[in-house]
Amino acid sequence: MSSHINHHLISVENISKKFKRPRSFKKENGFIKNIFQRDYKKAVDDISFQIDEGEMVGLIGPNGAGKTVTLKMLSGILRPDKGNIVIAGLNPYKDRKKYVAGIGVVFGQKSQITYDLTPLDTYGVLKSIYKIPDNIYQDNLERFCDLLEVGGYISQPVYSVSMGQKVRAELVCALLHSPKILFLDEATIGIDVIGKEKIQKCLRELNKSDKLTMIFTSHDMKDIENTCDRLMIIDEGKMIYDGSRELLCEKYSSQRIMEVEFEKPQKDIRLDNVICTDSENNPMSKYLHYNHSDVDYNEMILKLMNEYPVKDISIREPEIEYIIREIYKKNGRNL
């Protein structure tokens, strides 16, 4: 199997993982059978990919798509039922101790920083756990606290700092032992836009300066858009897209949305090849969805201006979120 030389930092071959699901009682099975019956759900279904050093990859998918399970298999928490994972020459599950010494993980919902103590207390424990030499610990502590602006509250109990500050302190935890790979699972959950941008900027800097490889999962497409060059889209345990962000946009770039504001509320806009939806925030506005290659702009706008009391028009490029929703829809039809 390993006859070919592995050039990739992360190499994942055909991994699958299924879980026991809470049993659903079915009448036709009878009581006893129901009690002993097990349902299985495929959380990850035959996924393969390679990631090189220094890449920033975003794993995208709706709740329950399998992205967190994939991340847990990559970080050595879960063992795949089938398939192979080799990262930096190690098997994350079998060589756990050696492997996790070289990775950093941030789970947005589960914090590794002690809530009642100061960030500095937690860093001290991590120093012992990872056996970080004094000089490296001091250097890293200074550098990352500076970069992520943790210095100001490093000696304050964590319960007294803001959510954004906490996540930044948490990131320092994951970086202290100079990892080669960083996994971030919904890391910026619950932070405001400015806080998020600050973190995204830091991560990009680290990626550039240290060639740190990063793998993200997030619900928030903006998060991923701002940091990752490569996207992997997972749905129902299957990989449905793996490629660059640009390619994804290009592929679907013929989709356009036009926001039109009217003098007074309109019921429906009837134009050829155009789908009309309501705007959520403005009762006077409508969204017009159309395919850029299907319509004649002159004709469309003329008709719009002539037949409706138009006040303002703006055209938007599709957002990744919209594109992804389209992909899911298509995926659903093909299945």
Partner 1 sequence: MDLIQLFLAYAKTGIKTRFQYHMDSFLLSFAVFFREASSIFGVYFLLLKFDTLGDWNIKEIFFMFSIISATYSLFIMFFMVFRDFPDWIKHGDFDRILLRPRGIFVQMLLNGADWVAALSHGAISVLMFIVSANSVGIRWNATNILYYIVTIISGTVIQGAIFVFFSAFNFYFSKNHGIKEFVFWKSRRFATFPLSIYGRVVQNILMFVIPFAFVNYFPAQYLLRKSDMAAYPAYYMYLSPVIAVVSFTIAYLFWRFSLRYYQS
105 binds partner 1 (CB under 8 A): yes
Q: What share of the chain is helix, strand, coil (3-state, %, to 5)?
A: 35, 25, 35
In angstroms, what is the minimal distance from the CB of 78 to partner 1? 6
Site string for partner 1, 108-127 (x = CB under 8 A): -xx-x-x-xx---xx-xx-x
Cα Rg, the chain, nearest whole Å = 24
Toward partner 1, which CB reaches closer, 79 or 325? Answer: 79
CB of 77 to partner 1, least distance (A): 5
- Quick check: 72 binds partner 1 (CB under 8 A)? yes
Given 35, 129, 302, 313, the residue binding partner 1 (CB under 8 A): 129
What residues have CB less than 8 Å from 104, skipping those under 6 apart?
A: 173, 174, 175, 177, 179, 181, 182, 183
Query: What is the identity of the amino acid at 47?
Result: I
Query: In the set 34, 50, 101, 331, which binds partner 1 (CB under 8 A)?
Result: 101
CA–CA distance, 58 with 322 (Å, rounded to integer): 16
Exactly one of 9, 10, 58, 75 binds partner 1 (CB under 8 A); that residue is 75
Q: Which stretch binds partner 1 (CB under 8 A): 32-40, 53-61, 77-85, 321-329?
A: 77-85
CA distances from 158 to 106, 109, 128, 165, 167 (A): 16, 15, 20, 9, 10
End-to-end CA separation in angstroms for the chain:
32
Residue 101 beta carbon to partner 1: minimum distance, rounded to whole angstroms: 4
Residue 92 and residue 105 in contact, taking contact as beta carbons nearer than 8 Å? no
77 touches partner 1 by CB under 8 A: yes
Nearest to 123 by CA among 182, 173, 179: 173
Q: Is 35 in the site for partner 1 (CB under 8 A)?
A: no
Min CB(236)–partner 1 separation in Å: 19
Is 100 one of the binding residues for partner 1 (CB under 8 A)? yes
H/E segment holding residue 104: strand 103-107
* Distance in angstroms (rounded) separating the CA atoms of residues 190 and 55: 25
Q: Which residues make up the interface to partner 1 (CB under 8 A)?
A: 19-20, 69, 72, 75-79, 96-98, 100-101, 103, 105, 107, 109-110, 112, 114, 116-117, 121-122, 124-125, 127-131, 157
